[in-house]
Amino acid sequence: MLLRLLGVDTRNGGSPTLYASDRDTYVVLGWEVPERNSRHIEIPHRLLSYLERGTCLGTLLRDTGHGTFFLEGEPLTDPAALNTIGAPAGERSIEVPIGKEVRPDDATTHR
């Protein structure tokens, strides 16, 4: 799997990061959520600003109410991609589909 860095939202040594893969997916590095399984991470709202124009994360985002989202995806297992990312302790990467942004105020998109 090849990754292309889209953006990082670093604060206090953390590294939530967004990548696009050569498999038409997003790879998201975020904080582990101890009370959830390995498919879940938490990311800051601001990380979404790095999504490619006209796209969205193809997974449900649950707002935590304190500036972050919980999201779910496939745990990243590709050794080369994991090596590229180098997730610090307490963080993990998941892979999610790239969704198409559909806005109710845009006549060119349809639900």
Q: What ranges do the domains of the chain cover? A: 3-100
Arithmetic mean of pLDDT, 74-79 = 96
Q: What pLDDT, on the 0 to 100 scale, is given for residue 36? A: 84
DSSP characters over 14-70:
---EEEEETTSEEEEEEEE-TTS-TTEEEEEGGGGGGSPTTEEESS-EEE-SSSEEE
Average pLDDT over residues 81-97: 93
The Cα 4–Cα 12 span in angstroms is 24
- pLDDT tens track for 9-62: 987 666 899 999 999 999 999 999 988 888 999 999 999 999 999 999 999 999
Q: What is the pLDDT of residue 8?
A: 93
Q: Rounded to the nearest 10 degrees, how much is the dihedral formed by the CA atoms of 40, 43, 49, 52?
A: -30
